[in-house]
Amino acid sequence: MATEINPWGNAVVDERKRKEKELNEWLPVTSSRDAKWWSSAFHNVTAMVGAGVLGLPYAMSELGWGPGVTVIILSWVITLYTLWQMVEMHEMVPGKRFDRYHELGQHAFGEKLGLWIVVPQQLVVQVGVGIVYMVTGGNSLKKFHDTVCPSCKSIKRTYFIMIFAIVHLVISHLPNFNSITSISLVAAVMSLSYSMIAWAASAHKGIQESVSYKPRSSTGVGKMFDFFSALGDVAFAYAGHNVVLEIQATLPSTPEKPSKKLMWKGVVVAYIVVALCYFPVAMVGYAVFGNSVEDNVLISLQKPAWLIAMANMFVVIHVIGSYQVYAMPVFDTMESWLVKRWNFSPSRKLRFCTRTSYVVVTMFVAITFPFFGGLLGFFGGFAFAPTTYYLPCIMWLTLYKPKRFSLSWTINWICIVLGVTLMILAPIGALRSIILQAKDYKFYS
């Protein structure tokens, strides 16, 4: 008996594929795949070297010389390894690309479980970065204003955060990753510039006579919580994994020249820049100011005024680009969800509403809770540790199944243990820091 073919079923499948293709051609992550390897380097530098680098001397003051240097260098090595894993897994299935972090999670853990494991953590990271960068942009604008015009009337930080947000109300409507490449290039140059200013100006200032490298807290409990919080600060500084697959999705790929070759070239360049920024800023900043360093090392540098003003403006320009790199995957998630679940039509109107709403919400939260140091540690431990330090390792073990006690198996399990430890300890110290800062805080000041 011949098998009857259902033409209606085939038509439904074809229609579904057509709509999926049209949606992917509209969404910001997958609408353009003609990027160059150097654009991936710009995006990775912009995503990685952000507000976190300016907090590293403060983290060093909570960790001390030995643990501080060890944690920062070990984090650089571990995160470079896990980033390599993600780049490799992007096209591990022939003919298919995992363009988003959650798509790789679904392949590793299953359609539903993969979504629940990855999406909440990734959104916490991306939205958390958006909030922290709103605070950073506002703080740096205020510092620039106060430095350039010390005799001017003091303006509330709230207004500077709003000014920073207005910029994003405009540029957030650029359609996709490739359209913000020039912004990422400028941002990457700015990150290298203000990092160099931070450590070079500190070195020029010289080690202070009253410098002390004793722990910031005098009690054992305080030292312990400070140590936990510092781990979160370091984790926050290594956050590029949350957008790496989305950045790789913008690169072309052929069987002869897969995207991982181009992406890895960009990642290596980005990580060299990361090392040139992170290590000198952390170590020179701590050496000069010791345990009196501020949670943003530029605040500790008071003179020369023109140089500090310029560095703060560089920070503003950089976090404009960094905010956009982290916001693009959020826009992609929001717009995809509204089209698929609520049957909205892909349109400029939908894009305008979703992106404007997102910028306004992150601005409002930043104005309400601008606890800069505590936010770094809390978000760093709670969500950055899983998505950066050990989730790629779990996926690697699940998908490639390396032989037990082999080198690959051992390295991945070491990363998992260290990452889980970081995830548990860091938010504890950061939460205490936020509570202490909140005691004397006046809302909307």
Average pLDDT in the 255-279 region?
94
| 12/46: higher pLDDT | 46
**Token pair listed for 395:** 């996926």
User: Is 58 a residue whose pLDDT tops 80?
Assistant: yes
Give domain status of residue 221, yes or no: yes
Q: Which alpha helices (DSSP H) does 50-110 contain, by range?
A: 51-54, 56-63, 65-89, 101-109
Residue 445 pLDDT = 59
User: Is 2 a residue whose pLDDT tops 60?
Assistant: no
User: Is 362 a residue whose pLDDT tops 50?
Assistant: yes
**Token pair listed for 404:** 């037990």
**Cis preceding-peptide flag for 304 (omega within 30 of 0):** yes
CA distance 230 to 380: 9
> Cβ neighbours of residue 214 under 8 Å, at least 6 residues apart?
291
User: Is 74 a residue whose pLDDT tops 70?
Assistant: yes
Window from 20-29, 121-130, 377-386 with minimum mean pLDDT? 377-386
CA distance 130 to 358: 9
Give domain status of residue 3, yes or no: no
Give domain status of residue 305, yes or no: yes
Average pLDDT in the 397-422 region?
95
Average pLDDT in the 416-427 region?
89
Window from 78-92, 141-155, 220-234, 323-337 with minimum mean pLDDT? 220-234
Residue 1 pLDDT = 46
Tally of structural domains, the chain: 1
**Token pair listed for 417:** 């243990």
Q: Average per-residue pLDDT in the chain?
A: 88
Give domain status of residue 52, yes or no: yes
Asked if 198 and 301 count as a contact pair (C-beta separation under 8 A), the reply is yes
Give domain status of residue 345, yes or no: no
Asked if 75 and 408 count as a contact pair (C-beta separation under 8 A), the reply is no
pTM for this prediction: 0.90
Domain that holds residue 53: 31-330+357-438
**Token pair listed for 85:** 């894993």
The CATH number of residue 172's host domain is: 1.20.1740.10
Provide Rg for the chain, Cα atoms. Answer: 22
**pLDDT tier at 304 (50, 70, 90 boundaries)?**
confident
User: Is 378 a residue whose pLDDT tops 60?
Assistant: yes
CA distance 19 to 24: 9
How far, in Å, are 134, 141, 367 from residue 442 at the CA level? 18, 20, 11
Residue 334 pLDDT = 95
Give domain status of residue 337, yes or no: no
Residue 440 pLDDT = 65
User: Is 189 a residue whose pLDDT tops 60?
Assistant: yes
Average pLDDT in the 317-346 region?
94
**pLDDT tier at 237 (50, 70, 90 boundaries)?**
confident
CA distance 302 to 228: 29
Average pLDDT in the 29-34 region?
90
Residue 371 pLDDT = 65
Give domain status of residue 236, yes or no: yes
CA distance 316 to 168: 12
Give domain status of residue 98, yes or no: yes
Average pLDDT in the 380-387 region?
77
Measured from the Cβ of residue 430, the count of other Cβ atoms closer than 10 Å reads 29
